[in-house]
Amino acid sequence: MEHLQVKAKYRSVVGKGFARKIRSLGYLPSVLYGGGDDGLPLVVDPKVVSTILKSHAGRNTVVRLCVEGEKALECLAIIRDYTVHPVRRTLEHCDFMKVTDETELTVKVPVRTIGKAEGEKLGARMNIAMRQVTLKCKAGGVPDAIVIDVTDFGVGHTVTLSQLPLPEGARAVFVKDNAVITVKIPRAEKEEEEKAAEGAVPAEGAAPAAGAAPAAGAAPVAGAAPAAGAAPAAAPAKPGKK
């Protein structure tokens, strides 16, 4: 398999001050890990690293790293980690990890679909529940994406993690076999609750509506104000003279 070549140079001086100087000269400070080494300090072209990160495979891209200088070597590697400037968003540092085509990696791979599901023509909605999945596979066989043809998916069709079309030697990493793609009829919106009919009998113990006349024969509540427009109560009769 042909791998993208990345040229690098060995640097014998390390430290934050030297790293800033390297960046000012247009280079990217890097470190190569793996193979039992503590880390081999390098400098690479930031444009090449940026191109790799923006490719379909991104950090899963296996490159042929060619190191020049005192500790010259050539090996396969992937980008293990990188940092960017918090404001300018330019690359600040990059870590490579030495691999072989047989090295098993744990990688995150995007999920892509092609076609239009048959169920969508009947009013169903296709939902991609997981935009990327975690796989274990060999470095020489990392897919750029998991591509799924959904053309024949009818209403109720579901694809779970264990049902993904994976390349030979790759397997999905999961605890629960969750759905990745579903085709379902969306729920109908709930109807609003019916308003109480006018003139409905109030529940026992409920206060009468404002302005409503008291029931016939009902004793007035002590201290209650008379209803609006009600005639005043008759004054008590004065006792007669003896």
What is the per-residue pLDDT for 37? 64
pLDDT value, residue 129:
95
**Pairing assessment for the beta strands 28-34 and 91-99 based on DSSP bridges:** parallel
Q: Please tell me the distance from the alpha carbon of residue 162 to that of residue 180, in angstroms, as a whole number.
A: 10
Percent of the chain clearing pLDDT 70 (strictly above): 76
Q: How far is CA 211 from CA 81, 122, 137, 195, 225, in A?
A: 75, 56, 79, 22, 11
4-99 has CATH 2.40.240.10 classification: yes
| The two domains 4-99 and 105-184 share their CATH topology (first three levels equal) | no
Asked whether the predicted pLDDT for residue 114 surpasses 90, the reply is yes
Band of residue 87 on the pLDDT scale cut at 50, 70, 90 = very high
Residue spans of the domains in the chain: they are 4-99, 105-184
pLDDT at residue 17 greater than cutoff 90: no
Superfamily of chain region 105-184: Ribosomal protein L25, C-terminal domain (2.170.120.20)
